[in-house]
Amino acid sequence: MRAPFGARITTAVSLRGPLCVGIDPHPSLLEQWGLPVDATGLEAFAMTCVEAFGGEVAVVKPQSAFFEAHGSAGVAVLERLIAACRESGALVLLDVKRGDIGSTMSAYAQAYLGEGSPLAADAITVSPYLGFGSLDPALDLAEKYGRGVFVLALTSNKEGPQVQRAQDANGVSVAQAVVDEAATRNAGASPLGPVGLVIGATVGRTGLDLSALNGTILAPGFGAQGAGLAELRTVFGPSLKHVLPTSSRDILRHGPDVTTLRDAALRVRDSLGAHAI
């Protein structure tokens, strides 16, 4: 049996440090690396990242869209990437942001969290905006198989606040309602539960009460998007110990040389110091 996700990510971070490296094969990055913008370039990019990061960082985060853009050949590369990362010892957080209802959500859950699926990752990102309860198929399957789910709560895109900071009649924001639902799912788990949150590292003071979450917080925006340690402290305060900063472009721009890429990732990881889950 696979250990619960909360235990696995706690162990990974304690051994390898609190950093998630995004694997985002954007067409401009493929070109910058001197690679063709096709499935062969995608494969070279992905496997270079595995060689550079797979044995060093706690978590890697492939962005599924950049693979899907190349059709079945791109999805096949994503399958091989997930398998290679798993062999290297890094946890795979697949950034797919799925969110649907009923049998459709169940199918997404089977694809990305089910045993035996070639796309099954250690964790995925999901969107709660059809109602948190619509995520139950993914949450249930993740818990069953020792995987994790990271729910969008307060993102850094400029359109996000219109929905995420909206308040109900009692003055509770949508983002806080997401936090509270996640905390309910994680209650009693040790050392952490399987439900994490996505909160941007650049959003400033959130006004959120994260004290009961008992889960991991993924913090995109560290590095190239402008967030450093000071911003992390401002956004997360006493919950910083549960934060997993993620950096993509700031590291990937150092490719395609494997050693240079690895050194860039290690510099970012080491800059985070003893901040650990």
pLDDT for the residue 227: 77
Q: From 2.40.10.220, 3.40.50.1970, 3.40.50.300, 3.20.20.70, which CATH number describes the 5-267 domain?
A: 3.20.20.70
pLDDT for the residue 242: 94
pLDDT for the residue 225: 67
Residue 5 Cα distances to 49, 148, 176, angstroms: 23, 6, 23
The domain spans of the chain are: 5-267
Q: Tokens 């649907």 appear where?
A: 100
pLDDT for the residue 274: 54
What average pLDDT values come out for the chain (277 residues) when binned by 10 residues? Answer: 95 96 97 98 98 97 98 98 97 98 98 97 98 98 98 94 94 97 98 98 93 97 79 92 94 97 95 63
Rounded Cα gap, residues 270 and 48, in angstroms: 21
CB atoms under 10 Å from CB of 44, counted, come to 18
- CB burial of residue 131 (10 Å; 0-12, 13-18, 19+): exposed
Cα-Cα-Cα-Cα dihedral sign, residues 35, 269, 12, 125: negative
Q: Tokens 């948190």 appear where?
A: 132
Rounded Cα gap, residues 80 and 92, in angstroms: 12
* Marked catalytic residue, from 97, 144, 158, 241: 97
pLDDT for the residue 262: 98
Is residue 97 among the annotated active site residues? yes
pLDDT for the residue 228: 84
Write down the pTM of the prediction. Answer: 0.96
Q: Tokens 């797979």 appear where?
A: 54
